[in-house]
Structure 1
Amino acid sequence: MLGGMALMKSRARGMAAGIESELSVAVDVMFPMSVLTRTAEVFGKRFPLTPLRLYVEALGGVAKNVLQQQSQIGILCNLPISISGLMTERLLAVEMVNVAAPSHPLAMKNAPLGECEVAQHVQLVLTDRTELTDGQEFSVHSRRNWRLADLGAKHAFLLAGLGWGGMPLEMVQNDLDAGRLRELQLQDIPARVQISMSAAYRQDAPPGPAGRWFIEQLKNFAVESQGVQELKEYA
């Protein structure tokens, strides 16, 4: 009982100082987990009495989560759509690669793949569960496509040879190194595409001290992560 009372008093002092009683963050599935976990680790040490609540969403799901005030902060892809009411701050660029299992017919060809060629095979596409991107397609090159709302499921389908598709490089780097997946080269399409990612929050509800600290730490670790990646590519 004494411990519980002490915790309540400590939280009350934090709230009196303007610190959020809880920090909720919606995160796009494409965001590097290495950056997020490092930020969460130091956040727990800096704000031990502020619970952290994370929601993982895809495409428009992050923006919708923040707009509906389910989360104070969103970490989202900069989609080519207009979303009013949000302020954004750039964090980093996520490198995307097209991959398939070694047993897949496209992975067995060394030459760059033409559009007609890839259109003959199932493309695994991440789908949006919200209405924000209705009628829009992002990097869809095949009329034959299977749509999945979960990036982990898409990863598993790729490893099983059920199709080809784009994935964040960080998520499949070990698979590429181990030969479980192979990178595909498509004609007239850059081999690796970068997707810009930003922190977002409602214009009428900017983050408090804990939220602002969380965003700044994301930026710091994002810079370190990008620097390490550049060093690896140079080596």
Structure 2
Amino acid sequence: MSERRNVLTPEALAMMDAIARTGSFAAAARELGKVPSALTYSVRQLEEALDVLLFDRRSRQARLTAAGEELLHEGRRLLQEMDAVANRVRRVASGWETQLSIAVDSILSTLTVFELCEAFYALNPPHGPGTRLRLRSEVLAGTWEALVNGQADLALGVSGEHSLPPGIKMEPLGDLHMVYVVAPHHPLAQAPEPLSEADLVRHRAIAVADSAQRLAPITVNLLPGQDVLTVPSVGSKLEAVLRGLGGGFLPDSLVDEHVQAGRLVRKEVRRASQRVRLWYAWRAGGNGGPARGRERLGLALQWWLEQLERPATRTALLQRHGGLPSRSLA
């Protein structure tokens, strides 16, 4: 057992990751600054110690076996955990995180997110306080998944209520009012209101794909048997609706300008009020332990949470999808 443990070094796991990403031993060797024979030898040592085959020798490319896929997956997770431990140690020493990863649902205001980034870097211009920001665009359950899987420290726009695992805290961000819109040349633009489900099901819906990889994806406002065009973000959904490729529910704050300009037609539907409650959540404890007070958080995360406590920030994230930049978030 100790021999198997000894071969699972960060270098060996990084080697597996490089081979899988580049697709060949030669390319991985160039990336790692080694010769291909050295990588081949290291992989064979790893296979012998674990008593498994990690790569299919029948393939010209570096094709992983099922065992290799599992080692790659768990190895990447372990490397992330090692990085997280190093970051936590540095945070204890300096107070500022090396990196802060923020998952942002694509339904929120991108303009406001970047205004917050500007304000953050202005704490110590031009580079900020030394914390690298990493923004992730997610959709529906993918926003929550990025947080609970450790890929994000802060998640903005979490959909639905969740049972909180240890070390996670959540607060309400606010409500979005969703409206059904179509292009002026769409067949439903002139249909009598309110639209019934029978009216909607005869026409293509534009839906945003849930970005969750492991959690059950969330499906919203789709009817059985309805034709669907699936797109990767809320912005692309708006573009598809503007082109008349289908209809869909979008935040009223996002489509209001287009409705006023005649580029979209808002239609009443025979359904309950389309209000969506969104949340923001963050990792409040280390190593899966109990959630701790704000004073134990990194200073970068503390700063972002302080901004989110302001009603103006929360409102801007939900409603400011266009227009001039605001200086009220600094």
Give the structure 1 partner of residue 268 of structure 2: 185
* Higher-helix-fraction structure: 2
Q: Which ranges of structure 2 fall in alignment gaps of 5 or more residues?
A: 1-89, 287-291, 321-330
Cα distance, 1:224 vs. partner? 5.4
Give the counterpart of 2:140 among 59, 77, 81: 59
- Residues 32 and 170, structure 1, Cα contact 8 Å, conserved in 2: no
Cα distance, 1:28 vs. partner? 0.5
* Higher-strand-fraction structure: 1
Change (3 A) 1:79 1:227: closer
Change (3 A) 1:53 1:174: same
Give the structure 1 partner of residue 309 of structure 2: 219
Spell out, residue by residue over 1:44-71, the C-alpha distance to the aligned partner (whole angstroms, 9 max, x if none): 1125132211111101111221222222
What SS does structure 1 have at the residue aligned with 2:240?
A: helix
Over the aligned positions, Cα root-mean-square deviation in angstroms equals 2.7
Change (3 A) 1:216 1:76: same
Spell out, residue by residue over 1:84-118, the C-alpha distance to the aligned partner (whole angstroms, 9 max, x if none): 44321122222221111011111112421111111
Q: Which has the higher contact order (CA 8 A, sep 6+)?
A: 1
- Residues 104 and 143, structure 2, Cα contact 8 Å, conserved in 1: yes
Equivalent runs, 1:99-118 vs 2, <5 Å: 99-118=181-200
- Residues 101 and 135, structure 2, Cα contact 8 Å, conserved in 1: yes
What SS does structure 1 have at the residue aligned with 2:263?
A: coil
Give the counterpart of 1:38 among 115, 121, 128: 115
Change (3 A) 1:112 1:179: same
Query: Partners in 2 of 1:14 and 1:83 — Cα distance?
Result: 24
- Residues 95 and 299, structure 2, Cα contact 8 Å, conserved in 1: yes
Greater displacement, 83-92 / 27-36? 83-92
Change (3 A) 1:40 1:99: same
Look up the equivalent residue of 1:164 and give its one-letter code.
G
Cα distance, 1:172 vs. partner? 1.9
Change (3 A) 1:82 1:105: farther
- Residues 182 and 265, structure 2, Cα contact 8 Å, conserved in 1: yes
What SS does structure 2 have at the residue aligned with 1:56?
A: strand
- Residues 28 and 58, structure 1, Cα contact 8 Å, conserved in 2: yes
Change (3 A) 1:84 1:184: farther
What SS does structure 1 have at the residue aligned with 2:229?
A: strand
Give the structure 2 partner of residue 150 of structure 1: 233
Query: Partners in 1 of 2:175 and 2:151 — Cα distance?
Result: 25
Cα distance, 1:170 vs. partner? 2.6
Give the counterpart of 1:23 among 85, 91, 100: 100
Look up the equivalent residue of 1:188 and give its one-letter code.
R
Give the counterpart of 1:166 among 217, 230, 249: 249
Query: Partners in 2 of 1:149 and 1:112 — Cα distance?
Result: 29
- Residues 32 and 94, structure 1, Cα contact 8 Å, conserved in 2: no
Larger radius of gyration: 2
Look up the equivalent residue of 2:239 and give its one-letter code.
A
Query: Partners in 1 of 2:316 and 2:144 — Cα distance?
Result: 24
Change (3 A) 1:102 1:187: same
Give the structure 2 partner of residue 50 of structure 1: 131
Query: Partners in 1 of 2:121 and 2:247 — Cα distance?
Result: 38
Structure 2 residue 276 is matched with structure 1 residue 198: no
Cα distance, 1:214 vs. partner? 0.6
Spell out, residue by residue over 1:9-48, the C-alpha distance to the aligned partner (whole angstroms, 9 max, x if none): xxxx987331112221010111223432332221111251
- Residues 121 and 142, structure 1, Cα contact 8 Å, conserved in 2: no
TM-score (structure 2 length as normaliser): 0.58
Query: Partners in 1 of 2:121 and 2:157 — Cα distance?
Result: 22
